[in-house]
Amino acid sequence: MSTSWTSLTLAAAMAVSIGLPLTAQVPTQDTHLQAARDAARDDFTDLFDTTCGLIRPALIVNTTPAAPTVAADRASWHAEPARVFDNLYYVGQSEYSAWALTTSEGIIVFDAIFDYSVQDEVVGGLTKLGLDPKTVRYVVISHGHGDHVGGAKALQDLGAQIVMSAADWDMLERARVTFPKPTRDIVATDGQTLTLGDTTITLHITPGHTLGTVSSLIPVKDGGTTHMAAYWGGTAFNWVRGPANYVTPERPASFWFDTYAQSAARFSGIAARQNADVLLSNHTRYDRTWPKVQALASRAAGAPHPFVVGTPAVRRFLSVAESCARAGSAVP
């Protein structure tokens, strides 16, 4: 028996003897799940469902799942592009997101969606918005799964440089995939800044969803005001649904939960220090892209911007993600 366990047992015994609840000493799975549910309130229930719902399905809040996407059926995935900030545009599909940041020297795209939709949504979307797809200089890939990197090769062929973490470049290069792979351009490192013309973004390696998930801080402009957007690069707990690709003797499920929780906590601190008050995701249901785009269309002059959720909400979002991950490795 280890010393720490002995003192823990002793502390628990003392807590009982003076009438304190045991949860004050050792957070249980229930404690973390409750903390996540409290943080999720009504606006982050989809994030809660995807993360905590994998730990305990009975807690799932939303009963309507996302509409299935069928590559051959454009109506099942197509969405119109939208200007969201003065320098940020949505060019993704109905569920999987791609964002375009305009600068004085060209465009930075965040995530490249699928190979079947990149031409229609990103290339076609930029054109529809009056922007030139050939001026995309960088494409930052949040992580190397097909729903975010599938279209990267098409954008690389247009002249853009693809940015991804070393771990996810490695993963992609090893993976057997059905889409064309981009070749390795730029390896993102933790805390790296990427400057294009008048705009600088910051990239942070936040392992969890994959070993090399990149979460970004992106300055966005609304009239005379610059806000900071926090872009959480990977959301679901893949190792719960598909352990074969994740869980190994060196990396058991607890490794993934703990790594994810630490990344969420760390990125939350980084975002807070940068006063991040806008939340962006690579899936429209986590940041509620569509209700916000709709609200934006009827926004009155001087009214608050629907994507500016405030710094406490950004922290709450990341705290839902962190608490659900902590629940995953806590004793039930």
* Site residues (vs Zn ion, CB under 5 A): 145
Beta strands 99-103; 106-110: pairing state: antiparallel
Residues 6+ apart with CB under 8 A from 311: 271, 272, 275, 276, 277
Helix H or strand E encompassing 128 = helix 124-128
Nearer to Zn ion, 197 or 243 (CB): 243
Q: Which residues of 149-165 are buried (b: 16+ CB within 10 A; e: fewer)?
A: bbbbbbbbebebebbbb
Residue 203 exposed, middle or buried by CB count within 10 Å (0-12, 13-18, 19+) = buried
Single-letter code of the amino acid located at 54: L
Least distance (Å) between residue 282 CB and Zn ion: 8
Shortest Å, Cβ 157 to Zn ion = 23
Structure tokens at 89: 């545009």
Neighbours of 72 (CB within 10 A): 6
Cβ partners under 8 Å of residue 253, min gap 6: 239, 240, 243, 246, 247, 328, 329
Nearer Cβ to Zn ion (145/204): 145
Question: Which of 12/255 has CB closer to Zn ion?
Answer: 255
Q: Minimum distance between the CB of residue 208 and Zn ion, rounded to whole angstroms?
A: 11
Closer residue to Zn ion, CB minimum distance, 102 or 206: 206
Residue 322 beta carbon to Zn ion: minimum distance, rounded to whole angstroms: 18
- Residue 79's contacts (CB-CB under 8 Å, 6 or more residues apart) are 90, 92, 93, 94, 121
Instruction: Please identify the residue of the shown chain whose CB is closest to the bound Zn ion.
Output: 145
- In this complex, which beta carbon is closest to Zn ion, that of residue 85 or of residue 239? 239
CB of 312 to Zn ion, least distance (A): 27
Q: Considering beta carbons, is residue 102 or 259 the nearer one to Zn ion?
A: 259
Report strand pairing: 136-140 vs 161-165. parallel
The least distance separating Zn ion from the CB of residue 145, rounded to whole angstroms, comes to 4
Which of residues 23 and 245 has its CB atom nearest to Zn ion in the complex? 245
Least Å from the CB of residue 202 to Zn ion? 21
Q: Which of 221, 220, 240 is nearest to 231 (CA)?
A: 220
